[in-house]
A and B are shown apart, each in its own frame.
Chain A
Amino acid sequence: MDESLLRVLTPEVLSVLVRRGADFAAAEDAVQEALVEAVRRWPDEPPRDPKGWLVTVAWRRFLDAARADTARRRREDAVEEEPGPGPVPDRDDSLRLYFLCAHPSLTPSSAVALTLRAVGGLTTRQIAAAYLVPEATVAQRISRAKRTVSGVRLDRPGDVATVLRVLYLVFNEGYSGNVDLAAEAIRLTRQLAARIDHPEVSGLLALMLLHHARRAGRTAPDGSLVPLAEQDRTRWDTAAIAEGVAVLQAALARDRLGEFQAQAAIAALHADAPTAAETDWVQIVEWYDELAALTDNPVVRLNRAVAVGEADGPRAGLAALAALDGSLPRHTAARAYLHERAGDLPTAAELYARAAGAAGTEAERNHLIRQAARLNTLLREGG
């Protein structure tokens, strides 16, 4: 049973049903039933045309459901008037599904769940395992999402920015269990990039590829975080970096800069440096300036301050940090790092310990507490 084939076919089959006039929610139910049927029957009777098979079965299920629902008599009549299932066109318009699943009326968690199932072809169970929530919770998110978008027409182009935000949410979530959400987000963004001509789609794809390429270096075998400067760069995926850089360059050449392209440019400068010491921090600061102008996001200004600390020295970095709200995530950790670089170890140790108390992940907390412990040991032995 080729699960990845089903994942690819799911959105295509769904779009065929929707194009034939099925309501999205009913079409989604019918496709899920057809998938269950496929899992049951294909091992013994592999179809010659898997997509055609799925469309036929799903359409039949959709008709059965529509007929059984007497309260929907009028819609049934409409369905009966539709031409019967003809040959499946080899056209793929699952692009519309992206826009539907990322519709602005959905909450982020609903949009993510619906996208992973309808566009990504993941099962409810897989999504639940990836997000560490009960299967019933994901099932509810999906059915609520389907209800929310049930009246949405599919003939208008949606907002690309919303789709990209949802895909980036999926990517950032990390991963667990048997579904790697980052890899899944890359797969979906790649598909989107193949269907839509938009520099920010390429920007996001490049950004994901560049971050993903460095993922193996980011954690030690025991699961602890390895900071960028200490990563073993031979563990980075050079093929993914090369692809990310190429995608980014093509996007930048179109001269329609956006947030994701600017972020990808920063990631590319890190990925390009053979050693941490050779990082082009001056150019990184310039890209952060671009990014700050595009987004006005305080987290961007925080990262910019750290880059300034590398380009112009820790005192300049601390001055840039001082201008920002101290309650920003990682503000204390950044101050600790710059104080250490400036040689003020007692202050750095105290700030690392305080930053550990505010960390949002265990890996980050353990990393920061180790930094504090390292400096305190140095101070004890030195004094």
Chain B
Amino acid sequence: MAKYLMLKHYRGAPTPEGFVPMDQWTPAEVNAHIQYMRDFAAKLEQTGEFVDAQGLAPEGTWVQYGGEGKPPVTDGPFAETKDLIAGWMIIDVDSRERALELAAELSAAPGAGGEPIREWLELRPVMSEPPTVTE
């Protein structure tokens, strides 16, 4: 009964060993990968652990207040170094161990040659409501 955000990155996460970019896979391998992700989400819906999942377009833009009466400033000095979030899934599970287990399972999605891609996922606890008891 704690929510976790699983973040997938386009950029910013460490590169897994033996990484092959998706555009070098065969179409069948791409299909298998997508099907794995779908099945994973469907399974979480069945177990009652699914909260939300969304993919994000790659073209992220940094935005900043530009000053009184001026347009917003876009992008910054770090256009080439910024993280890019590819998408997220939010789960609601009974324990942190379960969250780790699910993230690892998602990271095992098949890639080139049907091998698990072992992609690094970021797992972040979602801040909760204050509990009724503190003292």
A interface residue numbers (CB < 8 A to B): 107-110, 112-113, 131-134, 136-138, 140-141, 144, 169, 171-176, 181-182, 211-212, 215, 218-219, 225, 228, 267, 270, 303, 359-365
Q: How far, in whole Å, are A291 and B49 apart by their CA atoms in the complex?
A: 34
User: Which A-chain residue is minimally distant from B44 (CB atoms)?
Assistant: A137
B interface residue numbers (CB < 8 A to A): 1, 3, 45-52, 92-94, 125, 127-135
Closest 5 CB pairs of A and B: A141-B48, A174-B129, A140-B48, A363-B130, A182-B132
- A219 contact set on B, CB distance < 8 A: 130
Q: How far, in whole Å, are A219 and B3 apart by their CA atoms in the complex?
A: 23
- Residue pair A144, B132 in contact (C-beta under 8 Å): no
With A108-B1, A131-B92, A144-B48 as contacts: A215 and B135 at CB distance below 8 Å: no
Q: How far, in whole Å, are A182 and B46 apart by their CA atoms in the complex?
A: 28
A-B contact pairs, 17 of them (CB 8 A): A107-B94, A108-B94, A109-B93, A136-B45, A140-B48, A144-B47, A144-B48, A169-B1, A171-B133, A173-B129, A174-B129, A174-B131, A215-B132, A218-B134, A225-B130, A361-B128, A362-B127
Q: How far, in whole Å, are A144 and B46 apart by their CA atoms in the complex?
A: 8
- Residue pair A175, B1 in contact (C-beta under 8 Å): no
- Residue pair A172, B133 in contact (C-beta under 8 Å): yes
- A360 contact set on B, CB distance < 8 A: 125, 127-128
- A110 contact set on B, CB distance < 8 A: 48
Of the listed residues B52, B92, B129, B133, the one surrounded by the most CB atoms of chain A closer than 10 A to its CB is B133
Of the listed residues B46, B49, B125, the one surrounded by the most CB atoms of chain A closer than 10 A to its CB is B49
| Min distance, Cβ B26 to any Cβ of chain A, angstroms | 35
- A211 contact set on B, CB distance < 8 A: 132-133
- Residue pair A361, B45 in contact (C-beta under 8 Å): no
Q: How far, in whole Å, are A360 and B3 apart by their CA atoms in the complex?
A: 11
- Residue pair B130, A361 in contact (C-beta under 8 Å): yes
With A137-B92, A141-B48, A218-B134 as contacts: A131 and B125 at CB distance below 8 Å: no
- B134 contact set on A, CB distance < 8 A: 218, 225, 228
- B127 contact set on A, CB distance < 8 A: 359-362, 365
